[in-house]
Every structure is written in C-alpha cells, then in structure tokens.
Amino acid sequence: MSSEIRALEPQALWNKFADLNAVPRPSKKEERVIKFMKDFGENLGLETIEDEVGNVIIRKPATKGMEDRKPIVMQSHLDMVHQKNNDTVFDFDTQGIDMYVDGDWVKAKGTTLGADNGLGVATIMAILESDTIAHPNLEALFTIDEETGMTGAMGLKGGLLKGDILLNLDTEEDDEIGVGCAGGIDITATRSYTAETISGDGMKACKIEVKGLQGGHSGMQIHEGLGNSNKIMNRLLFSIIEDIRIAEIDGGSLRNAIPRESIATLVFKADKQDLLMRVLNSLSETIKKEYKTMEPDLQVELGEVELPESVMPFDVQEQLLKALYAAHNGVYRMSADIPDLVETSNNIARVIVKDGEIKVGCLTRSSVESSKMDLANALKATFELAGCEVEFSGSYPGWAPNMDSAILKVMVPIYERLNNGEKPHVAACHAGLECGILGQNYPEMDMISFGPNIKGAHSPDERAQISSAQKYWEFVLEILKNIPKA
C-alpha cells in the first residue's frame, strides 16, 4: 500500500522509493525508468543527460557555503532483479511493485522488492529535490543493467563525470563500509541433440518438482549453505539415471540468484514405477534432513503426467547429469588476505533441457582475476567433456580495496560519532559493484560503498529495514556536510 510506505520516516526517502517502485524496471527493460529519471531531473530545472547506453546523469550545484568542497558523484543503478514466487501472478514489464509494511520491514507481495538498488536511487532523488540538505557540487549517476551485465557502468565513457569522490549506495549492511568487491564472468554451456521418439507401450511419465528453497543473492549469500535447486534436482536424477529418460528440465532463473525451483519430466517403464518412487522418496527425505536447518521449507513433489513425445538420448543424458554433478557450485576459495571474505565462487543458476537443446548458465565471481579464470576454465573443461560448447561473456573486473581512501577516513569517525562509538565494518564484499568498472575510466576517483540493511536480495523474500533506513539517511546527510575541501 503506497500510502503506508509514504508515511514512513524519513519521508523524503520513502516517498521517492514509492515513486520509483511504481515504474516497471526489470534489467534489460529500463526504457520507462530512464524516461522517469530524465523527467525528474528536467522538472527540477537541473542539467540532465542520457549517455549513449542509457545511463542518466543529473547535475546539481553546491548549496551555499559548500562551493569550496570536493565535487562528488552519488551513484546507484536503476534496474532491479525480477523474481517472483511460482504462485504469484505478476508482470514485471507492466506492474509496479506491490509493497507493504511488516513490523520493522518493508516487503513486496510475492516478488522482489527492488530495494536493491532502489533505496540508493531514492536517496539521491531526495537530495536532488531538497532545498535544505547541504552538499557540494553533485553529480547523480543512475546506471542501467547492473544486475545482468553491468553494461551501464561498462558503457560510461571517461570524461563525463567531474567529481573527485564517488559514493556508491549499493551495500546491504548498514554497519558496513565497502572498499572492494568481486568481479564476475558468465559461463554458458550449450549442446544440441536429436530427440528420440518413445513408444507408449508399457511406459509412464512423471514430473519431479524441487521447490520451497530460500534462494538469494548468488554473491553475498553464496557462503551460507543455501540449497541450489539445480544441484538437488541433478542429485535426484542421477540416483535413478539407469532407469529413466529425461524429456525436459527447467531449473532456476537469473544468474545472480541462487536457484529456488526446478522441474523435470521423466519417462520410465511402468514396471519400474514403484522402485523409482521408493528411491526418489527415500533420497528426498535424506536431502531434506541435510538441509533441515538452512532450508526448512524444501519440498520435493512427484506427480504422474502424460507421456511426452520425445526424450534425450541416453548417452547425452548420462553426460549431462555427470557434468552437472561434477561442476562446482558454491564457495571455491576463501580470501587469504581478508578474514571471512569469499574470494571465488560459482552459482549454477540455470539448467534448461527442451526441444533438442541443452543450456546451462553459471555466474563465477572472484576478487582475484586469476582465480576467477581458474574456476571458469575448470567449469569449461567439465562441460566440454560432456560434449557442450562453452562461451564466456560479460566479464567485469573486481574493485581492489583502498584502505588509504580519503573519504573512508572521513566516514569512519562520522559513523562512530552517530553510533555511540561503535566501529563500522570496513570490508570488501563478494558481490559485483560497479566501482571496479567505473574505476577503469576514472582511476583517480576516490570510491566508497554503503547502504541500509536489505535482506533476501534477488529473491521474493527481499525486505528493507525501516529503522536501518533511518540510521543510513542520517549517515548520508552527515557525510555530505563533511566532504573535505578541494
């Protein structure tokens, strides 16, 4: 309910978030939100630019008395991850997000909330609109397509931005100040096969559905031991590999989301049905026990369906299931230099088998470029051994930590003063922030990342903490007042 959200404090922030969330803005389909942001800047009478790839830049002069401070860039991305529950009827292309308040949290009804990175965007909008918030010369940079390729940051040319300091508002823990992040690369394995027609005599078909998993951010939550529906489904199918033929698999959705659901259609001899069901039910119970703490709502459902027209050849099926079993998923290496930081990981995000085509999509992340490519090549070799063609795409660099950052030295004491002496957690994160990419064309820019508490990003459980947003807003205003002199 929009009115309920708009009544929250700070109202300037939540009102802009409500305005933004009324605009459909899934990744790769940002035309409406680009126009929305351009209209916003122009209606304020501010210099507003759309660059060649669709990023929007809005410039606002310094407030009185702040003209001698270093110019800053405040940056967030316009797009959001579009995920919904299977039983939720929602069209991300046409509908705004349906939000509600649940205690200290803002949530969405069955979909992602868009707080990642909508709260950052709303923060900048509120500052651009205000005539009372003190700030130096300000450039607002709203990038596109952060979630599925970083193409906005990659396409931003050098020389457009004039700021000395960049404040990236895309961190999801309010006690954290980000000084580094992981890079990433998309890995796609494909293979065609000639489907085999099956005789209906003495044959049956069933559907297996893995569901009820939490899902989540494939970088920030990759170390939590959450279930991956594609790996669980593959484990089930592998246990009965000799007695089944696979007609279809549809598992996962987006590369940057830990997959929550997978569905497979199988064909088998009717006289094997009881044995197969016993094996699958027994293994399902074993897997549920393994995940009972992290995934209490995990379900594996079996149901009879009509016979499909065709199935995979057995040799292709065997090679695929073995490759998916062998392919690494989860943490690959922890950082030797930064305590508790995941250095390198992989998410087996998408598995599709249908109409003579196989497609497996992964996202490999690392803060070390050589380690990223080591894991990428290991996955490439695994899938090539299964007869797949493997493509690398969308590679982007990490952001190397700078512990001598001048703006970091400003922000730490402000945080401590506002929080009764509590020290912030200064850290790198295992997620893809745009700072590393932007730094390629702006190597002298001092960059930092921070934000409010957002939980469950990239899943329909995404939620933003109201009290944390208040804490974060106060932090933002104090930082702006204390930007050092040029």
Choosing from 341, 367, 396, the residue where a domain stops is 396
pLDDT value, residue 105: 98
In whole angstroms, give the CA distance from residue 293 to residue 222: 16
pLDDT at 73: 98
d(CA 233, CA 480): 50
What confidence tens digit (pLDDT) does each residue in 421-440 have?
A: 999 999 899 988 899 999 99
Give the pLDDT confidence score for residue 274 in this predicted structure: 95
In this prediction, residues 56-75 reach a mean pLDDT of 98
Provide the pLDDT confidence category of residue 346 given band limits of 50, 70 and 90. very high
Q: Do 282 and 351 share a domain, yes or no?
A: yes
pLDDT number for residue 316: 98
Are 104 and 147 in a shared domain?
Answer: yes
The mean per-residue pLDDT over the stretch 250-273 comes to 95
DSSP-derived 3-state class of residue 266:
strand
Residues of the chain with pLDDT > 70: what percent? 100
184 near 432, Cβ under 8 Å? yes
Question: pLDDT digits over 104-144, tens only?
Answer: 999 999 999 999 999 999 999 999 999 999 999 999 999 99
Options 139, 145, 146, 462, the catalytic residue: 146
Place of tokens 């990744």: 27
**Domain of 310?**
185-396
Residues 245 and 376 in one domain: yes
The CATH number covering residue 377 comes to 3.30.70.360
pLDDT at residue 299 tops 90: yes
Please, which residues have CB within 8 angstroms of residue 239's CB and are 6 or more apart in sequence?
279, 280, 283
Question: What letters, b where the CB count within 10 A reaches 16 and e where it falls short, cover 49-83?
Answer: ebbeebbbbbbbebbeebeebbbbbbbbbbbbbbb
Q: Would you say residue 486 lies in a domain?
A: no
Last residue of a domain, one of 358, 376, 396: 396
For residue 432, give the CATH number of its domain: 3.40.630.10
Give the Cα separation of 152 and 78 in Å (integer).
10
- What would the mean pLDDT of 158-170 be, rounded to a whole number? 97
Number of domains the chain contains: 2
Q: How far apart are CA 361 and CA 351, in angstroms?
A: 7
Claim to verify: residue 307 and residue 406 sit in the same structural domain:
no
Q: 199 and 307 share a domain?
A: yes
Q: 458 and 332, same structural domain? A: no
> Do 191 and 168 belong together in one domain?
no
| Residue 339 CB burial class (10 angstroms; 0-12, 13-18, ≥19) | exposed
Q: Is residue 60 part of a domain?
A: yes
Q: What is the pLDDT of residue 201?
A: 85
Instruction: Please indicate, yes or no, whether residues 378 and 410 belong to a single structural domain of this protein.
Output: no
Tell me the pLDDT of the chain averaged across its residues. Answer: 96
- CA-nearest of 314, 313, 319, 378 to 345 is 378
Phi then psi for residue 79, to 5 deg, are: -80, 160
Identified catalytic residue from 30, 79, 116, 462: 79
Q: Do residues 459 and 297 touch, judged by C-beta distance below 8 A?
A: no
Average pLDDT of 88-115?
96
Note whether residue 219 is domain-resident.
yes
- Beta carbons of 27 and 432 less than 8 angstroms apart: no
pLDDT at 1 over 70: no
Yes or no: say if 405 and 479 are a contact pair by the CB < 8 Å rule: no
Q: Which pLDDT score, from 0 to 100, does residue 339 have?
A: 86
pLDDT digits (tens, 9 = 90+) for 188-230: 999 999 999 988 789 999 999 999 999 999 999 999 999 999 9
Is the pLDDT score of 404 beyond 60? yes
Question: Rg for the chain (alpha carbons), in Å?
Answer: 24
Q: Tell me: do 425 and 328 sit in the same domain.
A: no
In a domain, residue 41? The reply is: yes
Q: Is 364 a member of any domain?
A: yes
pLDDT value at residue 200: 76
Amino acid at 224: E
**Residue 361's closest CA among 383, 378, 330, 342?**
383
Q: Label the pairing between strands 105-108 and 463-465.
A: antiparallel
Contact 188, 360 (CB under 8 A): yes
Provide the whole-model pTM.
Answer: 0.79
The rounded distance, in Å, linking the Cα atoms of 120 and 109 is 21
Domain end position, chosen among 396, 425, 455: 396
Check whether residue 228 and residue 130 sit in a common domain: no
Q: Are residues 226 and 322 in the same domain?
A: yes
388 plus 416 within the same structural domain? no
Verify whether residue 146 is a known catalytic residue. yes
* 361 domain residue, yes or no: yes
* 261 domain-assigned: yes
Length of the chain: 486
Residues contacting 39, CB < 8 A, separation 6+: none
pLDDT at 198: 86
Instruction: Pick 248 or 397 by higher pLDDT.
Output: 248
| Residue 296 preceded by cis peptide, ω within 30 | no
Residue 251 lies inside a defined structural domain of this protein: yes
Annotated active-site residue 355? The verdict is: no
